[in-house]
Structure 1
Amino acid sequence: MKTIKAFCWLAFFALLSVNVWAADEPSIEQLQHQMNRGEITSVSLVERYLDRIARHNRDGAELQAVITVQDREKLIEIAKQLDEQRKAGQVRSAMHGIPVLLKDNIDTADGMPNTAGSYLLRNHMPPDDAFIVEKLREAGAIILGKANLSEWANFRSTNSSSGWSSQGGLVKNPYDQSRTACGSSSGSATAVSANFITVAVGTETDGSLVCPAAINGIVTIKPTVGLLSRDGIIPISASQDTAGPMARSVADAVHLLQAMRGVDDSDTASYNDTTNYIKHLKTDGLKGKRIGVMRDLAGYNTELDEVFNGRIEQLKAAGAIVVDGLEFPNGRNWGGDEYTVLLYEFAHGMRDYFEQSPHPEFSSLEDLIAANKANAGITMTWFGQELFEMSVSRQADKEAYEQAKVDAKRKAGAEGIDAVLNEHQLDLLIAPTVSPAWKIDLINGDHFTGSASGAAAVAGYPHITVPMGFVQHMPVGLSFFGTARSEALLIEAAHAFEQMTQARRAPVVASPH
C-alpha cells in the first residue's frame, strides 16, 4: 500500500510539474520586466528553452518542431553580451534578449543550414542573414535555432501531409500527437504553443501561417505583402509570399512584427511603414467597428460553427456592429488563377534564390528534381514532387501567367475583400480560420475541409488569427482580415477579442507513451 501510495504521489507531482510549465507562458513584456528587475537573465531564458527542446523535441512528447539548434556555447555568449548591455542601460527594443526560432526556410549566416526541410539542402550554408534576421539581431533578439516545416513549404506534392520533411521528420500537434500541426509553418507554431520558445517566425503563401497557428492554439499576423522583406527566404511566389510573427498573444506578435520591419530595396514589394502597432493594442478595440461575417467561409463543421456563432455574440456585446450573412460577390473564383501564378513564379523564384544564396550542387528547380529522384529513398518516402515538375513545365506559359496574376489579385482583392467591405461600409471581415485538426494521414495526405486563408493570401492583404475556443480537445481560431495595410485596425479588433475571451488554453506536453 505504501509503495502504491508513493507511486501515486510521484505521478501526481510529475503531472503537476508538467501543468506548472504549461501554465507558465510569460509574455515578452513580462520577460522584459523580470530581466530589468534581475529576476531572470537572457542566459537563463536561453537555457530554459534549450532544456525544454531537449526534453520534448525528439524525446518525451516527440513533437519534432525544431530541426536545428544553435551551438549552446555560442548562444550563451550572445545572451551574456545582451545581459551586459541591459545592465549598462542599453536595451535595444522589446525583443532585447528574447529567444526566437526561425522557420527553416529563412537564411542565417551563423553556421546553421537553411534546408526548406529537404535532405537535399542539409548542408546549405547561406552567405548572409535574411533581411528580417538582420533586423531581429539589431533589435537584440537571439536566434535560438530553426523550426521544422512542411518540406519546401508544402509546395512539392499534390498529396503531401503537412508538417513532414525529409530533414526534420513529422511535426506533431501538442494537443494531440495523432493530429496534424498543419503547414507549412507547423514547427514554428508547435514550438510556440508547446513553450519551446517565446515567439517564432513563419512564412505564408496561402495558409501557412494562419492554419498552423489556429490548429495549434496560437496567434499569427500575416502582414500585407511587402511589410516584411522576403530577402533570404526560400520562395514559392513573389506575388504572395510573406514572413510573419507567431506568438501566444497578439501583443507578442506585434512586438516581433515591429522588430522585423524595414524598407528593403532588394524587395520590389517592400514599403515604408512607421506605424507604432503597440499603440493599437486596445482593450476597447472592438467598440464601433463594423465587422462583416463571411458565411461562405464557414459551414463546413457544425461544432466549429457553434463556437464561431457564440463568439459573434460576444463581439456584439463588446460594441462591434456586426453585419452577418455575407459572401464574396463572385464566390471564391480566384483559385485557378492563383495556381497558375504559384506554379510559374516558383521555378523563377528558386533560380533567383540560388543566385543570392548559392549552393554548390543546385541552381534551379530542375536540379532539385533530379536530386530528389537520385535520393528518392530519403526525400520521397511518403509523397512525390508533382508540383516541382508542373512548375518547370509551365515556364513557357508566360502570357497565361501574366494574365492570371492580374486576374487573381483583382478577383480576391478589388472584387473580393474590398467589394464586400465597400458595399457594407465595413472595417474588417471575420470567419473561422480553418477546420479543427484532422488525423495525420501519410498515405492520402491532408484532409482540409475549409479555410479562410485564400482571399487575403491571393490579394496580398493582412490576416490575423486568434484562438477562439475548442472543438472537443482541439483549438480553433478566429480570423480577422481586411484591405491592404490595415494591420493597425485588425490588431485593435484581434487584441480586444483576445483580452475579452482569453480563449487560449496551453497544451499539456508530455510523453505519449
Structure 2
Amino acid sequence: MRNIILLAALAGAAPATAQTVAIEEVPVERLDAMLANGTATSEGITRAYLARIAAMDHTGPTLRAIIALNPDALAAARASDARRKAGKPLGPLDGVPVLVKDNIETRDPIATTAGSLALKDNVTHRDAPVVARLRAAGAVILGKTNLSEWANIRSDHSMSGWSGVGGLVRNPYALDRTACGSSSGTGAAVAASFAGAGVGTETDGSVVCPSAMNGLVGLKPTLGLVSRTHVVPISHSQDTPGPMARSVRDAAILLGGMAGGDPADPATRPADAHVHDFAAPLAAASLTGVRIAVLRPDMPEAMKPVYAAALAVLKAQGAVLVGVDAPKLDGLGEAESAVLHTELKADLASYLATTPAAVKTRTLGDVIAFDDANTAAEMPFFGQEFFLAAERTHGLSDPEYLGALAKSRRLAGKEGIDAMLAQANATLLVAPTYGVAWLSDTVSGDGSEGPSASQLPAVAGYPHLTVPMGLTKGLPVGLSFIATAWGDQTVLNAGYVYEQASHARVAPRYLSSANLDPAIDGTR
C-alpha cells in the first residue's frame, strides 16, 4: 500500500505536459539525444515513467514489477537537468531513469529486502558500488524491482518471480506466464518501458532467463567486472550484477556505467584493466570469418524453426558455424549445489552482520526461524529446502566444499566451454538461452520445458549475453552468446551484429494468456 501511495504522489504531482514525453520502447541512446537537443528534460522523462508505472504496475496489466520507488528520483532528475543547462553532462546515462533489483542497496530512504519480509527494515542509506557508479554517470535511480525472493535460492520447488514483499511478477507478453527469475521484476519492468534500462543480478540464470523470457537483452558479465559489495549475496564464486535492456547498445551503455574495480570485492581486482566504452566498438562490429561453436540441444518443436532462423542470420553475416556436442560433465550439478549451499550460509551471515540494528535476522538460521514463524506470509506456496540444506554445511574451509568448488570450475570451464570452443576452433559459443516461458503455478512451482544455457558460464564465471531471437507461440525466446573470461566485448559485438540483422525483438502486448493470441490459433 505504501508504494501505491508513493506512486500516486510522485506521478500525480506531474504538470499537464509531463506525460506527453514519449518513453515507450525508447532506447537509452535516444533518451540521451532528446536530453542533449532539449526536446525533453530528465524531470519530464522521469515523470513519464512514473506515470506509466502508476498506470500499469498495480493497475491495468498489474505487472507487480516494482517493489519501491525512490522518493528522491525527481530531485536527481532536476540535478541532471541543471548539469545539462550548465553544459556539463556526465555522459549517455546522465538523466536516464534506471531501475535496480531489490537485492542491491541504494542510499535512498527505501529498504533493500531481497523480497523477504525479514529485511523489510533494511534501510542502509548506503549505495552498492555498482549503484554509486551509475549515479556518478548521472543515472536517475528510479526505484527497486521485485524479484524471486532471496534471488530464488530459498526452495528447491520455488515459483519464479514471487516474493513475500512484492507478490508475483507477471510476464508482459502473457500475464499468466512466468517472468522467470530471479531478476523477474527488472525483466518485466524494462520490457514494459518502466525505465530506460535496469540492473539485475545472476548466480545461475537470474539475468539471462528473465531477459530471454521478457524479450530483452541481458548480460551476465565476467565474474569480477562488476562489484558485488552491498548486494544481498548467494555465492561469491558466482554472483554478479548485470545490465538488462531492450537493445544490445543500451546494455553496453549501462555496463559502461556499472563496471569497475572495488577494493572491498577482491574478485574485481582485474576489472579496471577491462573497463572501457563498451558501446563504442559496436558500430564497427563484424562476424565475417568469425568461427562460432553451435550447440543444438533438445528443445520444443516450436522453437526449432526460430533457432534455425537465428543461425541462418549469423551465417548470412559471415560467421562460420561449427556444430559441437555438449560434453558429459558428470557431477557438475551436485558440485555446484554444494558450492552454493556452503557459500550461501557464510556469505549471507557476513552480509547480515553489516545491516542496521532494526534487522533482527543475523544468520541463515535466523532467517529460517523467521520464515517458520511467518509461514502464511513467507511460505504460502513453497518452503525453504535449500536454506535448510545450506544451514547444515560446515564452512568455507570444509574439504568437501573446496573439492566441489575446484570440480565445478574445472567441469564448467576447462572441460565445458573451453573444450567446446577448442573443438570448433571458435571464439564464441551460441545456444538457445532457455525454453518458452511456462505457466506460473502456485501448486507445482517452476516447470521449465526446453534447454538452458546458463549453468556453464555461471559456474565458470564467463560472460553470457542473451539477445531476443523472436517469438515461439507468442512468447519471447533468446539466443545466447558465450565467450571465455573477459570476453564481454566479444559477446556484445556478436550480439549486436545479430540484433541489427535480425530485428527479432517484438514489443509486449500484455495478453492475459498467450493462448488468446489469434496468430496461435491460426485465425490470421
1:397-416, Cα deviation, whole Å (9 max, x unpaired): 81110000011001000111
Counterpart selection for 1:257 from 255, 258, 277:
255
Distance 1:390 1:501 in 2: 45
Matched ranges for 1:447-462 at <5 A: 447-449=447-449, 450-462=451-463
Return 5+ residue gaps in structure 2 as ranges: 1-19, 517-524
Matched ranges for 1:61-460 at <5 A: 61-71=61-71, 74-270=72-268, 271=270, 272=272, 273-282=274-283, 284-295=285-296, 298-324=297-323, 326-331=324-329, 333-360=331-358, 361-395=360-394, 398-449=398-449, 450-460=451-461
Distance 2:424 2:223 in 1: 25
1:290-327, Cα deviation, whole Å (9 max, x unpaired): 101112xx212111122101211121111000002x12
- Point out the more displaced range, 386-395 or 340-349: 386-395
Are 1:57 and 2:57 an aligned pair? yes
Partner of 2:497: 496
> 8 Å contact 2:130–2:226 — kept in the other structure?
yes
Distance 2:452 2:284 in 1: 27
Q: Match for 1:156: what amino acid?
A: R
Return 5+ residue gaps in structure 1 as ranges: 1-19
Distance 2:171 2:388 in 1: 30
Partner of 1:3: none
> 8 Å contact 1:219–1:250 — kept in the other structure?
yes
1:195-233, Cα deviation, whole Å (9 max, x unpaired): 111100000000000000000000011100000000000
Distance 2:379 2:363 in 1: 19
> 8 Å contact 1:22–1:194 — kept in the other structure?
no
Distance 1:358 1:268 in 2: 24
TM-score (norm 1): 0.93
> 8 Å contact 2:128–2:229 — kept in the other structure?
yes
- Point out the more displaced range, 185-194 or 422-431: 422-431
Report the CA distance between 1:358 and its aligned residue: 3.7
Distance 2:44 2:308 in 1: 43
SS in 2 for 1:143: strand
Distance 2:285 2:35 in 1: 30
SS in 2 for 1:466: strand
> 8 Å contact 1:180–1:437 — kept in the other structure?
yes
Q: Match for 1:294: what amino acid?
A: L
Partner of 1:486: 487
Distance 1:511 1:446 in 2: 19
Report the CA distance between 1:334 and its aligned residue: 1.4
Distance 2:339 2:70 in 1: 36
Q: Match for 2:481: what amino acid?
A: F
TM-score (norm 2): 0.91
Report the CA distance between 1:356 and its aligned residue: 2.8
Distance 1:358 1:486 in 2: 38
Distance 2:459 2:357 in 1: 30
> 8 Å contact 1:285–1:495 — kept in the other structure?
no
Distance 2:409 2:142 in 1: 37
> 8 Å contact 1:234–1:350 — kept in the other structure?
yes
Partner of 1:25: 25
Distance 2:68 2:404 in 1: 38
SS in 2 for 1:281: helix
Distance 1:229 1:75 in 2: 23
SS in 2 for 1:176: coil
Distance 1:371 1:398 in 2: 27
Change (3 A) 1:21 1:498: farther
Report the CA distance between 1:275 and its aligned residue: 3.1
Partner of 2:4: none
Distance 2:146 2:410 in 1: 34
Partner of 1:43: 43
> 8 Å contact 1:115–1:122 — kept in the other structure?
yes
> 8 Å contact 1:283–1:495 — kept in the other structure?
no
1:123-148, Cα deviation, whole Å (9 max, x unpaired): 21114110101101111001110000
Distance 1:263 1:475 in 2: 34
> 8 Å contact 2:413–2:460 — kept in the other structure?
yes
Q: Match for 1:374: what amino acid?
A: A
1:372-394, Cα deviation, whole Å (9 max, x unpaired): 11111111111111111110112
SS in 1 for 2:100: strand
> 8 Å contact 1:283–1:496 — kept in the other structure?
no
Q: Match for 1:444: what amino acid?
A: S
Distance 1:495 1:470 in 2: 19
Change (3 A) 1:281 1:359: farther
Report the CA distance between 1:330 and its aligned residue: 2.9
Q: Match for 1:478: what amino acid?
A: L
> 8 Å contact 1:66–1:147 — kept in the other structure?
yes
> 8 Å contact 2:98–2:141 — kept in the other structure?
yes
Q: Match for 1:117: what amino acid?
A: G
> 8 Å contact 1:224–1:460 — kept in the other structure?
yes
Change (3 A) 1:78 1:23: closer
> 8 Å contact 2:181–2:210 — kept in the other structure?
yes
Change (3 A) 1:228 1:23: closer
Q: Match for 1:430: what amino acid?
A: V
Report the CA distance between 1:121 and its aligned residue: 1.1
**Count of paired positions:** 489
> 8 Å contact 1:290–1:425 — kept in the other structure?
yes
Q: Match for 1:77: what amino acid?
A: A
Change (3 A) 1:246 1:359: farther
Change (3 A) 1:149 1:453: same
Distance 1:482 1:406 in 2: 20
Matched ranges for 1:467-486 at <5 A: 467-486=468-487
Distance 1:89 1:280 in 2: 26
> 8 Å contact 2:101–2:186 — kept in the other structure?
yes
Distance 1:75 1:404 in 2: 44
SS in 2 for 1:264: coil
Distance 1:61 1:388 in 2: 33
Q: Identity over aligned residues, as a percent?
A: 44
1:454-479, Cα deviation, whole Å (9 max, x unpaired): 10001010000000011011011000
